[in-house]
Chain A
Amino acid sequence: MPYPMIALDDLAVRFGGVAALSGVTFTAGASEFIGVIGPNGAGKTTLFNVISGMVSPSAGAFRIDGVDLIGQRAHVFNRVGIARTFQTARVFRNLSVRENVEFGLRLPGRRGGRARHLRTEADDLLDRLGLRPQAGLTAGSLPPTRQRLIEIGMALATNPRVLLLDEVAAGLTQGEAKTMASLIRDLRSERDMCVIWIEHNVEVLMRTVERVLVLHHGEVLADGPPARITKDPVVIDAYLGETAVD
């Protein structure tokens, strides 16, 4: 039996005396589409920080595709196939949009061909995300909503097996959020990758993903298909409240 793509076992992260995550056990398969919800401070971003290698867990086991990566530096996590975006977009602000997207393609050993392939591959990505018209502009000059798209491009350029999206629909109107959701859905099936998506826009998220993980006070409150999560009394009580989506 193949290993799960991501396997967290009784994982804990503590900052000083504060437990950001505790007892988190969670596995994700190779092409799953998972949404992560929970109130602010529930530990969602910390979960991403662990999976992307930016924070080392204080306790518990953590494997990616069967490989124990605890103690490794962040670039190793990317090389086994983890790529992410950030809640506050972190693009290379003073580089052009094209250079941002090219970065993941340019790393030595990642690309068989040379410069000409680089250009077409970057063009394809820019086209796919609708960023081609802004390719020559400095990334930092674009508004946050555009910067999130650049970040998705940067992540995709590293050809990930797991894409972690941290609130990529924040600040979008409901219509734009839906467009973003269908873009993500399409990208995931085109590339057959696992997507884990943190989003506050629960309505759009629930309609898009196949499985939802609910975090609360650093613990897993619920884990299951959206239809069940929206009806789960514990989740409604803790997070969704009376205005739950149906």
Chain B
Amino acid sequence: MRRTGWILCAAIIACLAALPWFGSNFTISLALSITMYAGLALSWAMFSGTTGYIALSSSAFFGVGAYACAILLESWPWPIVILGGALTAALLALLLGLCVLHLRGTYFAILTFGISELLKNLVGYVEKSQFGTVGRMMLGVPSLSVIYWTVLGLAVAAAIIYWAVARSDFGAALRAIGSDEDRAATLGLNVRNTKIAAFCLSAIIPGSLGAAVAVRWTYIDPQIVFNPFIVFQTVLVATIGGASRLAGPVLGAVVFGLLEELLRLHFAHYYLILLGILLILSVLYVPNGLASLIPSRRPQLLHRAGGKHALPNDRS
């Protein structure tokens, strides 16, 4: 069973990787959107799904990644450009984490979002005052296939990170923080450092994706790359799919990506309204995400135990 799963995953990834040779530009673009959503949502779920800290900073990570790309693209090879995006975003997460990770709940969510907006305006201001213009042309853009392979690779990397974290002691620490942070501290966990490390790790993929996808626009400015829609989509994809299992964000990305494209094609004027209604319905009726509908190998651990079954054994 386990082995079949692995083989299936490998086969799907291989098919996706071969897409540029047989797919149309439209299919490649669609697959690119879906894999990008998957990468963003997996990174988000790795941090927010485990710790319960709702980070609304994906746009900021994505945006600084895109700007790192705009600066590096002319004179550096493509892998360095992507790496530059990753490191810039991780650095931003480190600074952001040091400032706001002591806040909890809504305060954390609002502040991460506020800082992203602040950053958008700050970048615009700096460009205007230092260079006299806002925005940058992208020069030396790689082909669509290269962009697509990069995004696919990053989505796979996000999945591997999610999987490795979930299995590790680090992942156990994050889940404990999500459950009762002060309790985890009394058991010896340095909660602040753990949260900051996880937050930085969660910024790497969005930053790299920002760098990879930025080249699809021939021109970028802060309004484009720090667009709050990026973080909204990230959170929605993770929520539709379910953040507590690897399959969740992936499934969410597929459903969201297809739905978005379908609705946009057929209901160009009100597709956002329809999308909104579908999202509300999914949150109301499938609160734990689509992945919760797939039977799990260890369901009794987290779900069935909630009922009466636990009681008869008590004090045995």
B179 touches A75 (CB 8 A): no
When chains A and B are docked, how far (Å) is the Cα of A143 from the Cα of B176?
20
Decide if B214 is an interface residue (CB 8 Å cutoff).
no
Instruction: Tell me, rounded to whole Å, the shortest Cβ–Cβ distance linking A245 to chain B.
Output: 26
Q: Is A94 an interface residue (CB 8 A)?
A: yes
A83 to B307, CA, bound (A): 31
- Say which one of A7-15, A133-141, A199-207 lies at the interface with B: A133-141
A93: B residues at CB distance < 8 A: 179-180
* Closest chain B residue, CB of each to CB of A97: B305
**B143 on interface, CB distance cutoff 8 Å:** no
How many chain B residues touch the partner (CB < 8 A)?
31
B182 proximal to A (CB < 8 A): yes
Task: Name which of A31-39, A100-108, A212-220, A233-241 contacts chain B.
Answer: A100-108
- A78 / chain B contacts, CB cutoff of 8 Å: 185-188
List of B residues within 8 angstroms of A96 by Cβ: 301-302, 305
Chain A CB within 8 A of B173 CB: yes
8 Å CB interface, A66-93 against B: 73-75, 77-79, 83-84, 86, 90-93
Interface segment among B7-15, B62-70, B155-163, B308-316: the answer is: B308-316
Residues of A within 8 A of B189 (CB): 75, 107
Asked whether A110 lies within 8 Å of B305 as measured between CB atoms, the reply is: no
**Which B residues touch A104, using CB under 8 A?**
187-188
Cβ-defined contact, A107 with B173, below 8 A: yes
Query: A45 an interface residue at 8 Å Cβ cutoff?
Result: no
Judged by DSSP, the binding face of B is helix
Report B155-175 residues with CB < 8 Å from chain A CB. 169, 172-173, 175
- The distance from the CB of A118 to the nearest CB of chain B, in whole angstroms, is 9
Report the nearest A residue to B302, measured CB to CB. Answer: A138
Cβ distance B76 to chain A, nearest Cβ, rounded Å: 36
Q: Which residues of the partner chain B approach A103 to less than 8 Å between Cβ atoms?
A: 172-173, 176, 184, 187
Give 1 or 0 for each of A36-74: 1 = CB within 8 Å of chain B CB: 000000000000000011100000000000000000011
| A134–B176 touching, CB < 8 Å | no
Beyond A53-B185, A73-B192, A92-B180, 10 extra complex contacts between A and B, CB < 8 Å: A52-B186, A73-B185, A75-B186, A77-B186, A78-B187, A86-B183, A90-B180, A93-B179, A103-B172, A137-B305
